[in-house]
Structure 1
Amino acid sequence: MKKHILVVDDDNMNLARTRIILGKDYDVLLADSGIEALVKLRNEKVDMVLLDIDMPGMNGIETFGRMKEFAADIPVIFLTASGLEEDVHSAIKLGAVNYLKKPYQPQELLKRVAQEFEKA
């Protein structure tokens, strides 16, 4: 059975690209906001979350904090275009398992996701 990955990003092109990259090997769920991500996490089976940091409304760090209240065991890989070290450090301190700087190479995304599933 395929693992379920929730991809959260406010950019529809990033969502579509990530679905194409991961879609052969995983069931991919998409959310374009932190609020939508939290709803999906409560209602669907999710094995991993790929979470954009810089989103309007509720950013990825805040989304991750709320997610931890009821889905603390789901691994999160942050996706960031900013590359700000403080964002990355905040994410890792909160318990993110990894991060990827956008734009990323498809092979790198597949490798990071596979590595996290191997740890579980």
Structure 2
Amino acid sequence: MQKRILVVDDDSMNLVRTKMILGKQYDVVLAESGEAALNKLKTENIDLVLLDIEMPDMNGIETFERMKELPVKVPVIFLTASGYEDDVMSAIRLGAVNYLKKPFYPEELMKRVAKEFEK
């Protein structure tokens, strides 16, 4: 059974690119907003979430906080184009397992995802 990864990003090009990178090895589910991500987490079995920090309406940090209220516990790797260390540190303090700065190399994304699934 393939692991399922939920990729959350408001930029459709980032979603397509990430799905192309991960789609050969994993079942990739896409969401363009925090709200859509929360709905998918309620209705689908997800093994890992890749979550963009900078999104309109509900940013990644807010989405992550709301995820913690759900009965499912899913590891989260944050994706960020932000240069703000505070964003990354907030994510780690909240319990994110890792983060990756955008733009990222496909090999680096694969390595971090594989590392998380090895745990």
TM-score over 0.5 (shorter chain):
yes
Deviates more, 1:102-111 or 1:62-71: 62-71
CA distance in 2, matches of 1:71, 1:90: 22
Alignment of 1:22-41 (within 5 A): 22-41=22-41
CA distance in 1, matches of 2:72, 2:39: 15
Aligned residues: CA RMSD: 0.8
Structure 1 outlier segments of 4+, above 6 Å:
none
After superposition, the Cα gap between the structure-2 partners of 1:107 and 1:71, relative to the gap in structure 1 and judged at 3 Å, is farther
Alignment of 1:24-63 (within 5 A): 24-63=24-63
Aligned partner of 1:10 in structure 2 is: 10
SS at match of 1:30: strand
> What does the per-residue CA deviation read over 1:74-95, in whole Å, with 9 as the maximum and x for residues that have no partner?
1000000012100000000000
Q: Which runs of 5+ in 1 are unaligned?
A: none
SS at match of 2:50: strand
Q: Which runs of 5+ in 2 are unaligned?
A: none
Task: Tell me the TM-score normalized by structure 2.
Answer: 0.98
One-letter amino acid of the structure 2 residue matched with residue 101 of structure 1: K
Aligned partner of 1:104 in structure 2 is: 104
Aligned partner of 1:81 in structure 2 is: 81
SS at match of 2:5: strand
Alignment of 1:89-100 (within 5 A): 89-100=89-100
Q: Count matched residues.
A: 119
Percent of residue pairs bearing the same amino acid type: 71
1:71 Cα offset (Å): 4.7
- Residue 8 of structure 1 contacts residue 33 of structure 1 at CA under 8 Å; is this kept in 2? yes
